[in-house]
Amino acid sequence: MHLTYRWRATLVIELGLLMAILDVTIVSVVLPQIATALHNDTFFFALIACAVCAVATIFIGRDPALEAAKAAKKRGEKVEESASMTVTP
């Protein structure tokens, strides 16, 4: 069976989503036991997990090429636009 590039990319994305959901499920189930073992409140560990996810989301959502192009435009340099630099709402 020969898979096209799109199907391979779709399978990789699906596998990544499955692993993320599995990870969140495991952490949610084990979090109370971790809190009990460390003699701390479950809320504290949930807060730390949310903070880590928020910070990771901030860095994942940034496009370095787009940021570099914006900085170059501010300096007055000529920037060649490419398809990866287009921003769609």
Q: Is 18 within the bounds of a domain? A: yes
Query: Quick one: pLDDT at residue 89?
Result: 43
pLDDT tens-place string over residues 10-37: 888 899 889 888 888 887 888 888 888 8
Q: Is 87 within the bounds of a domain? A: no
E strand or H helix at 47 = helix 42-60
Q: Is 84 within the bounds of a domain? A: no
Instruction: Output the average pLDDT for the chain.
Output: 78
What's the number of domains the chain is made of? 1
Query: Quick one: pLDDT at residue 84?
Result: 54
DSSP string, 7-44: HHHHHHHHHHHHHHHHHHHHHHHHHHHHHHHTT--HHH
Residue range of the domain that includes 11: 5-79
Region 53-76: mean pLDDT is 76
Region 32-58: mean pLDDT is 82
Do 84 and 65 touch, CB atoms closer than 8 A?
Answer: yes
More confident of the two residues 29 and 57: 29
Region 38-61: mean pLDDT is 79
Q: What percent of the chain has pLDDT over 90?
A: 0
Query: Quick one: pLDDT at residue 63?
Result: 67
